[in-house]
Structures are given as structure tokens and as C-alpha cells.
């Protein structure tokens, strides 16, 4: 069984591109032509919304499938549309995997005991659940988690990763402006809260280090905090890092590469709106969104490659 860290590292090497495309669609992001077609085929407006989201995602995936290693659907964007939105989420994940992409379920789950076990089965378990169901709800390759409940909220997911080869990214230093209100607090021993969490992530991931030298248990570290990211990479030398904040949130490629290892591996940079809505930046018609997304994905890839070279961390 190949663990998630090795799968992702190999896909990044194949594509030469440490980028994950966030699939965070709002209905008003979807071109009117797609929404009109969905309304003609659906039984009601709710079903039409779900269809439109799925068709939008399909075209986004098709536009970049040969360029990127992974996609990251954010669950809240689908949940807000009810059952049809969840159906679009499930179909999007299945479609992306059918095209050979890894799927990071951006669910940020945070609970303990049997509830955490249920979340793990629903989102990660890719095997039969028994006579009552033929497959799990999602079957993603990886999940984002909030680890601030401690090991009680993480162990059920670690068990699934060990059993099924999936991965998990745990919030450590997030990209939002108010992150420091809690994560920067200083403990009695002089460590910050986020440094203490990073040490836990390094500990939790020890049993899931693959041949790549990286663990399938990783951390979320925002590109908006490059100085902190450098320190966190030292604390977590063997953990994957998911890097949000590039593009629409203001971080540059030079900021993002602080989370990479000296071998140019171990991190993947997320972009959502800057890829999905690239047609607006490029001044193209909405119906040309897929073409614009591909052009933006190539530009982001080249931007990251150049930044890695400047930092002496070119992908090997």
C-alpha cells in the first residue's frame, strides 16, 4: 500500500507543479450558459444548482488535469446548497479521481471519539461499509482537520490513514488575519501555541512517513506568514505542508516556498478563486473560464518554480 505522502510527492514530480486547485464554487461563479442548461435538465432549482456546480467543476478539472497533482473541494461551498450540493461534491470527487487526480477533502473536521470515527469513515474510507452501504459518502484521499482538541480528535483519522493509505492536513498556522489572536499566544515554556501544535503534528505523523521521507500527516501553514513557516518547517522536517493564502489572499510565490523542504518537496500551494475566476483577471468572457484557468495554472506553476529556484529549493 502506497501512503498519501508518497502518492502526492510522486504526482508533484510527474507534473513538476506543487499546486492544488481549490474547488470552492459559488453559483454566481458559474457562467449563465451552464446555469441555463442545468435548469433545462433539472426537476427543480435546487437540483439545477447542483448540476451547474458539478458541470463547472468538470470543466475546471479537464482544463488542468495534465498540469496539477490534486484538487481540494471545500465542503462548505457544497453544503450550503443542500442535498444537491452534496451530490455535486461527491460526483466532483469521483470525477477528479477518475482523471488520476488526488483529492484533498477540505472539511476541517474537529470532534472526538465515535463522532470522529464516523467522520473518518464518511470522508476517507474507500472500502465497503458492509451490507448497509456499498461505499463511503466521499472516499477522498486526504482530509483537513482541526487538531486543537488534541489526540482524541485525531487518532480515528490516523487509524484510517494507517489502514487505507490516506492523509490528513492539520491546522497549525492558518492564513487568516486574526490567526495570531490565539495561535501566537506564548506558553509558559516560551513556545507559541502554533509551535506546540507543530510539535504534536510531527509526533502524530511519525508512523506514516513514507519512502519519500515525508509523512502522510501534514500541517496547514498559511503563505501569509513566511517567517513563521520557515520555523515550522524546521520543527516538522518530515511532514507535508498545505499552503493556503497564495493569490487572492495576497501571498506571493516567494512567501509560499518558505514551507518547502530543502529538496523542493514536502509542500503544495493552494489557489482557489485565482484559478476558478481567472477569466475576470484576464478580461475574458465568462464562457472562456476553462481556458483562463489553464493559463493561470501555467502561470502559477512557473511562478512557484522560479521562486523555488531563487530560494535554492528547486524540485529535484
Where in the sequence numbering do the catalytic residues fall?
Answer: 108
CA 315, CA 281: separation in Å to the nearest integer? 28
Question: Using CA atoms in the order 37, 40, 42, 46, what is the torsion angle rounded to 10 degrees?
Answer: 70
C-alpha dist (Å) from residue 143 to 72, 119, 169 = 9, 10, 6
Contacts of 40 (CB under 8 A, 6+ apart): none
C-alpha cell read off for 120: 473518518
CB-CB contact of 126 with 135 (8 Å): yes
DSSP string, 40-96: HHSSSHHHHHHHHHHHHHHHHHHHHTTT-SEEEEBHHHHHTTHHHHHHHHHHHHHHH
Contacts of 179 (CB under 8 A, 6+ apart): 173, 222, 225
**Distance of alpha carbon 189 from its chain centroid, rounded?**
33
Beta bridge partners of residue 219, listed in sequence order: 170, 241
Residue 165's region, left for phi above 0, alpha for psi from -120 to 50, else beta, is left
**Distance of alpha carbon 115 from its chain centroid, rounded?**
22
Amino acid at each position: 500500500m502506497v501512503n498519501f505522502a508518497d502518492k502526492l510527492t510522486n504526482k508533484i514530480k510527474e507534473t513538476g507543479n506543487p499546486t492544488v486547485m481549490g474547488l470552492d464554487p459559488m453559483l454566481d461563479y458559474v457562467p449563465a450558459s451552464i446555469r441555463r442548461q442545468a435548469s433545462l435538465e433539472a426537476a427543480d432549482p435546487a437540483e439545477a444548482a447542483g448540476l451547474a456546480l458539478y458541470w463547472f467543476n468538470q470543466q475546471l478539472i479537464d482544463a488542468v488535469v495534465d498540469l496539477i497533482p490534486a484538487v481540494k473541494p471545500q465542503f462548505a461551498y457544497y453544503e450550503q446548497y443542500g442535498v444537491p450540493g452534496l451530490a455535486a461534491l461527491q460526483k466532483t470527487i469521483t470525477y477528479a479521481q477518475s482523471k488520476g487526480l488526488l483529492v484533498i477533502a477540505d472539511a476541517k473536521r474537529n470532534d472526538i471519539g465515535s463522532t470522529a470515527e464516523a467522520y473518518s469513515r464518511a470522508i476517507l474510507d474507500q472500502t465497503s461499509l458492509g451490507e448497509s452501504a456499498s461505499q463511503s459518502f466521499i472516499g477522498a484521499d486526504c482530509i483537513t482537520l482541526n487538531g486543537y482538541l488534541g489526540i482524541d480528535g485525531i487518532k480515528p483519522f490516523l487509524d484510517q490513514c494507517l489502514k487505507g493509505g490516506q492523509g490528513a492536513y492539520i491546522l497549525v498556522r492558518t492564513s487568516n488575519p486574526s490567526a495570531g489572536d490565539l495561535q501566537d499566544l506564548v506558553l509558559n515554556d516560551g513556545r507559541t501555541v502554533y509551535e506546540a501544535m507543530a510539535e504534536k503534528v510531527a509526533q502524530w505523523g511519525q508512523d506514516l512517513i513514507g519512502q519519500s521521507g515525508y509523512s502522510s500527516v501534514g500541517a496547514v501553514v498559511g503563505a501569509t506568514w513566511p517567517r513563521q513557516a520557515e520555523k515550522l518547517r524546521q520543527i516538522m522536517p518530515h511532514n507535508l505542508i498545505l499552503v493556503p493564502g497564495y493569490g487572492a489572499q495576497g501571498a506571493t510565490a516567494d512567501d509560499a516556498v518558505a514551507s518547502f523542504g530543502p529538496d523542493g518537496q514536502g509542500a503544495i500551494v493552494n489557489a482557489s478563486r485565482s484559478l476558478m475566476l481567472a477569466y475576470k483577471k484576464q478580461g475574458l468572457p465568462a464562457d472562456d473560464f476553462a481556458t483562463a484557468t489553464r493559463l493561470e495554472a501555467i502561470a502559477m506553476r512557473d511562478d512557484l518554480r522560479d521562486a523555488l529556484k531563487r530560494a535554492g529549493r528547486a524540485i529535484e
